[in-house]
Amino acid sequence: MGNPDYDRFTDENLIGQRNSLVDVISQESDKVSALEDDAKRLRDAESSIQKIIENMQETNSKVKDLEVDLTKWKGTEKGKFEKEKSTFRNGMKSYENATTGILVQIETKIMEIETDITRINSQITKFQTQLSNVRSELNARGV
Q: List all residues 6 or more positions away from 24 whose beta carbon is below 8 Å from its beta carbon.
A: 127
Question: Domain range spanning residue 121?
Answer: 4-140
C-beta pairs of 114-118 under 8 Å, 24+ apart in sequence: 114/39, 116/35, 117/32, 117/35, 117/36, 117/39
Scored b (16 or more CB within 10 A) or e, 25-56 reads: beeeeebbeebeeebeebeeebeebeeebeeb
pLDDT tens per residue, range 3-54: 777 888 999 999 999 999 999 999 999 999 999 999 999 999 999 999 999 9
Structural domains counted in the chain:
1
- Confidence tier at 75 by pLDDT (50, 70, 90): confident
Residue with the larger pLDDT of the pair 42 and 1: 42
Residue with the larger pLDDT of the pair 27 and 72: 27
Distance from C-alpha of 55 to C-alpha of 52, rounded to nearest angstrom: 5
